[in-house]
Amino acid sequence: MSGSVRCLVAGNWKMNGVLEEARSFVSELGNNPAPERVEVALMPPFTLLQALAEPLRQKGVSLGAQNVYYEPKGAFTGSISPMMLRDCGCVYVIIGHSERRDIIGERDEQIRKKMRAAWSAGLEPILCIGEHLEERENGQTNNVLKKQLAILEGGIPEAASLTIAYEPVWAIGTGKTATPEQVEETHAFIHEELQRLGRDCRVLYGGSVNPGNAAALMKTPGVNGALVGGASLKADSFMAIVAAAAEAN
């Protein structure tokens, strides 16, 4: 990746937040210290997208969703289409988060369809990949990531935008982060694999990122930003991570 690419710090609220909390969060959001080097984005639950679109736009924060269905419209009760997300002002959508893979049972084939559907609607997918602890301990990390990235094989349209989030499953919500050495090595492998697939892009790190560890992680070679869960729920801790990314880039 060339050094001139803006890094991305994105907050994934998961299933958290109601209107009142979202309003106070936005009112407490400070300024992005380096908008030319760091992009800030927020992925609240679907129910808050409409309400947050305009206030976040005014603060220069991009809007994204946490999931999408792959059909454009029709009898799919409870599902949300890519165009509906665009209609709410989303530019990003998280696809293939490990919580959806492991809890909801989402498989590569659905993830592949969701990527295509997001691209067709002009959304930028943030494709999440990552290994389980047992896989890391058995030396399977690169094989797992390679297989997860294989859904991109031959399928990335010319004009499509793409961001990858490397989120080791064992580091999500556990307070355990991968060491900068593990992150550097794994991000290097992912960038290499993306080049082989014909499209290198930003690779974010995710998994217990907080204001205390963000500086070291954001400085790690091959890291182009962060996907933040728990620490994105409070404006001050989220903005501290943004500041660390600004410092590092």
Where along the sequence are the contacts to ligand 13P (CB under 6 A)? 12, 97, 167, 172-173, 206-209, 227-231
97 counts as catalytic: yes
> Look-up: residue for tokens 């908008």?
35
Cα dist from 115 to 56, 133, 151, whole Å: 25, 26, 9
Secondary structure element (H or E) that encloses residue 136, with its range: helix 133-137
To ligand 13P, the closest distance from the beta carbon of 211 in angstroms equals 12
Catalytic residue among 167, 187, 191, 193: 167
Residue closer to ligand 13P by CB (options 157, 215) is 215
Shortest distance in whole angstroms from residue 162 CB to ligand 13P: 17
**141-149 helix and 180-196 helix, angle to the nearest 10 degrees:** 40
Catalytic, 20? Answer: no
For residues 79 and 91, give the distance between their C-alpha atoms in angstroms, rounded to a whole number: 18
Q: Minimal distance in Å, beta carbon 210 to ligand 13P? A: 7
- 77 or 164: whose CB is closer to ligand 13P? 164
Contact 66, 36 (CB under 8 A): no
Q: Which is nearer to ligand 13P, 152 or 209 (CB)?
A: 209
Catalytic residue among 97, 99, 187, 193: 97
Closer to ligand 13P by Cβ: residue 38 or 41: 41
The DSSP-derived string for 31-95 is: --S-TTTEEEEEE--HHHHHHHHHHHHHTTEEEEES---SSSSSS-TT---HHHHHHTT--EEEE
Token readout for 73 is 């419209």
| CB 72 to ligand 13P: min, Å | 26
Q: Which residue is nearest to ligand 13P (CB)?
A: 229
The catalytic residues are 97, 167
